[in-house]
Amino acid sequence: MSYDVSQVRRDFPALAVEAAERPLAYLDNAATTQKPLAVLEAVERYNRTSHANPHRGVYALAVAATQAYERARERVARFINAPSPREVIFTRNATEALNLVAFSYGLNNLKIGDEIVLCISEHHSNLIPWQQVARLTGASLRYLYLDKEYRLPWEEVRSKITKRAKITAIAHTSNVLGTVYPVAEIAAWAHSQGSVVVVDAAQSVPHMPLDVQDLGADFLAFSGHKIYGPTGIGVLYGRRELLERMAPYQYGGEMIEYVDEESATFAELPHKFEAGTPNVEGAVGLAAALDYVERLGLGEIRRHEQELTAYALEELARIPWVTVYGPQNLEGRGPVISFGIDGCHPHDVATILDCCGVAVRAGHHCAQPLMHFLQIPASSRASFALYNTPAEVDALIRSLFEVRKWLGYGS
């Protein structure tokens, strides 16, 4: 059955909203995605029929909440092919998941002389925690730099990830450039050098099949709201042998086994990393989102998004005053396109596009070191999802000409 984007769009109520008295072209999916009815209804159904504090009560409603929460964990484990649901930890978002790794694993396993290897394109969520851990431990940061095609040369990997590298932290897909990095190959090399591999999958999990075992990830993080789920729910996958050795990241209720006046022992995985009352409705919504994506088929979603990306790249290449930052073809790239318009600040671009009913992101995209590397202050960014259409790409292209006119260039 062919992919019917018009039918898919009917599942997303927010897409019917108008902007500037025009149909909304929502092209900021790398920041957050809209939610399908299946997710909205799953969350409402949980709150209507099953809400209680999980893992605490023995009455029927509490049991139902516990079952809903743990079924969601099992759903995530299947989606990313984790060997065990006990290796899946629920967090608020990918940022918290990466902080958990940095401060629970990194802080306790790094020392002076060790190196943390990062790509220059990392989102601040996978960069600032490592800066802080390096400062606290005396470890050093080492960066992988990109070539002129916005790709990662293999020589950078081989020369920078050495025996001194104890942690290699890299995004699967850049949230700015759209570059998809060869994480499985990087992980294999890093492991041969004795490095633990941390993968930020926030920008890849909505767009392609993800298998933590095939990737070779020791830790992997993503956010629910980037894969059509609720905000406030994220995932950390960690290899069990590493998680077992790690201290809890936060302390309080639920994550304990036994407490006396002077000491405490902690619960088994995954609960020792989930202090306090969890976001059960978020987990339920995330599970529904994963069900929805798999029903459509990640292969079909990827094909649809690649067609949109190819069309947008082709149309942008026709405009002489537009510069695209990122791979110029589909090889090794995701559905994220950052660009600049000659003589126009990205914030002005985004503001004028909004007046034309087109929603894009503008700024440094939480990747300021990359902006410095590219020698630009900021960029505009259009990012596609499973519900976007060629007509919305056309709306973007038409509106770019409006930007030039509004700013006095005439064309």
User: Can you read off the two tokens belonging to residue 124?
Assistant: 């601040």
Nearest to 273 by CA among 302, 246, 291: 246
**What are the residues facing 380 on neighbouring strands?**
339, 362
User: Can you read off the two tokens belonging to residue 5?
Assistant: 């984007």
Nearest to 89 by CA among 240, 211, 206, 230: 240
Tell whether the torsion through CA atoms of 28, 73, 173 and 104 is positive or negative: positive
CA 271 to mean position of chain CA atoms:
23
Instruction: Give the span between the Cα atoms of 311 and 317, in whole angstroms.
Output: 10
Nearest to 387 by CA among 42, 35, 38, 43: 35
Phi, psi (rounded to 5 degrees) for 223: -110, 145
Q: Is 200 exposed, middle or buried (0-12, 13-18, 19+ CB in 10 A)?
A: buried
Give all strands (DSSP E) within 334-397, no chain letters. Answer: 336-341, 358-359, 361-363, 379-383
The size of the chain, in residues, is 411
Residue 28 carries which DSSP code?
B
Active-site annotation holds for 356: no
Would you please indicate which residues are annotated as catalytic (active-site) residues? Answer: 366
